[in-house]
Amino acid sequence: MCGIVGYVGTDQGATDVLLEGLSQLEYRGYDSAGVALADPSIEVHKKAGELSSLESALPESQLGDEPAGIGHTRWSTHGAPSDANAHPHTDELERVAVVHNGIIGNYQELRDELTTAGIEFDSETDTEVIPHLIGSFLEQGQTNAEAFRSAIDRVEGSYAIAAVFEGDETVYAARNESPLVLGLGENGYYLASDVPAFIEYTDRVIYLDDGEFARLTPDRVVVTDDTGDVVDTTIETIAWDSEETGKSGYDHYMLKEIHEQPTALRQCLRGRLEELSGGVSLENIDEMDWNPPIRLVACGTSYHAAAFAARLFRDWGVPAQAFLASEFTATEIPLSADSLVVGVTQSGETADTMRALREANRAGSTTLAVTNVVGSSAARTCDEVLYIRAGPEIGVAATKTFASQQVALMLLAAELSNHRSRELIRELRTVPDQVQAVLDNSRAKEIATEYRNADAYFFIGRKHHRPVALEGALKMKEITYKHAEGFAAGELKHGPLALVSEKTPVFAVVTGDGPIAEKTIGNVKEVEARDTPVIAVTDGVSDVGRYADHVLEVPPSTGITSAITANVQLQLVSYWVANELGRSIDKPRHLAKSVTVE
């Protein structure tokens, strides 16, 4: 939700760094964009629309060698996307410019107070109270650093904030519950909501913690805590290179990331499988203190991975339940000191999931983050972390992170339930190749062409395949903007069957030939009898192909890993339908990748 970036240094002009950084952060929001340059007076340029609108509106002369600046790409919360609501915002005398990611909880109270004091607001945003507050402290004779801190002290809520002042080659920043990371270059310092914004320049980073402030000048970075004491920071090295954040010849990040899944899964599995014992080995997890039942909390796609995992835990004898994080409260779901709460979140920043994890921490439970982002809020808030190691994912629709979550959670379920099986280990070892086989042979594109004008798309699956059906539908709706729904296959006849027609293809996930497959084949027949097109996603072991109009093949496996390969087929169908319809695949309307508001 909103991306912020800042730069101060001597190796290059701030404008180029900020624009390049914003282009890497657009996945966080793309309603409007803006930059403020301290050169030495404050120059603000901002525009509604994607970053390209701002770039075209920038005067040529601006692209010079400004020493410091901040930038923002917005996902609207307070006020519609417009030039006026775009960040940065300034005080009335344009002495300070501010960008913000998050929500100011007490903004109405602050706005009323400032309005009473005679301040006129230019926007509807909550953010604008911050520069005006800073301005009022400057009026009282405070220095820039003091006024920034005094203003932040008045603000409640979640925020990552950056500011520049006229005549001051410094970027000021503060963080509370919204991500902020500093980059340490040779001749310049960077700050951003996420590392891809500056990975091209440096891989040495410092993650700010809640309550911390940072001051970036051309020759140093100083981090202080909420009392003003200097913090002894840890410099970490990021293990990716800037190549990983490019499109590598694919038309869209989403397609590239779908194709990166074999590599992502190999990374996820590396060093974690024990061939001989049939067990798994996960760093620190075996030392964790916990008792069943396990509660998994997550949102959206990550919730589907959590639901898949909860079933697996139960299959392997450990009571477990997946909760939508936004519905989870520690008062309704009593937590005790030995409960285990697992937050599944690729970004590690999702506000709903973070709230649930913080509540679990307050209840004294053990918390575990299953995340992709090293140093993310979830990683730092939880007692333990299991990294899914998917590498950077830029497309807003989660693809490779979902597959990596599925695999990481399978490993977790095996570890915590003490499930030992050489067959499982062998199968996990082959998952990357199975996914590669799907990518190499998929007929998803021709199916997408045939059904691109459907009225709606339905997805059905049972047991481990139910989360796959839900995820297939979510992916379809978010990138094609078409109606799509996923159901437990058995539920179809309890209502949704009224919706099926020859214009509503049904994708049915059926693998193996046991009783579960038989029942889903029964549901397929019910659909087929109503002249509704059926696309079976199947390993061909059962005879479901006889009742389907088309087949999307997955390699034979147990019901468990087919939940990964079947999902890849469905990702491809959604991608190609969206492509046929000319949708904004990597940046679907109204969405953002990291949802840092509840």
Chain residues that interact with ligand F6R, rule: CB under 6 A: 299-302, 345-347, 350, 353, 397-398, 474, 478, 594-595
Please count the other Cβ atoms lying within 10 Å of the Cβ belonging to residue 312.
22
Buried b (16+ CB within 10 A) or exposed e, 438-462: bbeebebeebbeebeebebbbbbbb
Q: CB-wise, 371 or 417, nearer to ligand F6R?
A: 371
Structure tokens that stand for 517 in this block: 């497959």
User: What's the rounded Cα separation, in Å, for the pair 337 and 348?
Assistant: 23
| Least spacing, CB of residue 595 vs ligand F6R, in Å | 5
Q: CB-wise, 38 or 398, nearer to ligand F6R?
A: 398
| Least spacing, CB of residue 275 vs ligand F6R, in Å | 31
Q: CB-wise, 85 or 193, nearer to ligand F6R?
A: 193
Catalytic residue chosen out of the listed positions 47, 463, 482, 593:
593
Q: CB-wise, 300 or 505, nearer to ligand F6R?
A: 300
Q: CB-wise, 97 or 307, nearer to ligand F6R?
A: 307
Q: CB-wise, 151 or 398, nearer to ligand F6R?
A: 398
Please count the other Cβ atoms lying within 10 Å of the Cβ belonging to residue 100.
30
Burial class (CB in 10 A: 0-12, 13-18, 19+), 411: buried
Q: Is 2 a catalytic residue?
A: yes
User: What's the rounded Cα separation, in Å, for the pair 197 and 69?
Assistant: 14
| Least spacing, CB of residue 222 vs ligand F6R, in Å | 31
Buried b (16+ CB within 10 A) or exposed e, 562-578: bbbbbbbbbbbbbbbbb
Burial class (CB in 10 A: 0-12, 13-18, 19+), 55: middle
| Least spacing, CB of residue 406 vs ligand F6R, in Å | 13
Which residue is associated with the tokens 């490779």?
400
7, 188 in Cβ contact below 8 A? yes
Q: CB-wise, 136 or 404, nearer to ligand F6R?
A: 404
Residue type for position 476: M
User: What's the rounded Cα separation, in Å, for the pair 516 and 541?
Assistant: 13
Q: Is 299 a catalytic residue?
A: no
Q: Three-state SS for 458?
A: strand
Q: CB-wise, 145 or 324, nearer to ligand F6R?
A: 324
Residue nearest to ligand F6R (CB): 300
Q: CB-wise, 178 or 346, nearer to ligand F6R?
A: 346
User: What's the rounded Cα separation, in Å, for the pair 238 and 165?
Assistant: 30
18, 69 in Cβ contact below 8 A? yes
Q: CB-wise, 185 or 343, nearer to ligand F6R?
A: 343
Q: Between vectors from CA 468 to CA 467 and to CA 469, what angle results, nearest 5°?
A: 90
Strand-strand pairing, 534-538 and 506-510: parallel
Backbone dihedral angles phi then psi of residue 275, each to the nearest 5 degrees: -55, -50
Q: CB-wise, 133 or 444, nearer to ligand F6R?
A: 444
User: What's the rounded Cα separation, in Å, for the pair 523 and 506?
Assistant: 10
- List, as one string, the DSSP characters of 348-398: S--HHHHHHHHHHHHTT-EEEEEESSTT-HHHHHSSEEEE-------SSS-
Between the two ends of the chain, the Cα-to-Cα distance in Å is 11
| Least spacing, CB of residue 102 vs ligand F6R, in Å | 16
Structure tokens that stand for 388 in this block: 């899914």
| Least spacing, CB of residue 346 vs ligand F6R, in Å | 4
Burial class (CB in 10 A: 0-12, 13-18, 19+), 50: middle
| Least spacing, CB of residue 296 vs ligand F6R, in Å | 12
- DSSP H/E element including 342: strand 340-345
| Least spacing, CB of residue 353 vs ligand F6R, in Å | 5
Residues 6+ apart with CB under 8 A from 162: 4, 5, 6, 70, 98, 99, 171, 172, 173, 180, 191
User: What's the rounded Cα separation, in Å, for the pair 99 and 197?
Assistant: 15
| Least spacing, CB of residue 578 vs ligand F6R, in Å | 12
| Least spacing, CB of residue 161 vs ligand F6R, in Å | 22
| Least spacing, CB of residue 326 vs ligand F6R, in Å | 10
Catalytic residue chosen out of the listed positions 2, 268, 299, 382:
2
Enzyme catalytic residues: 2, 593
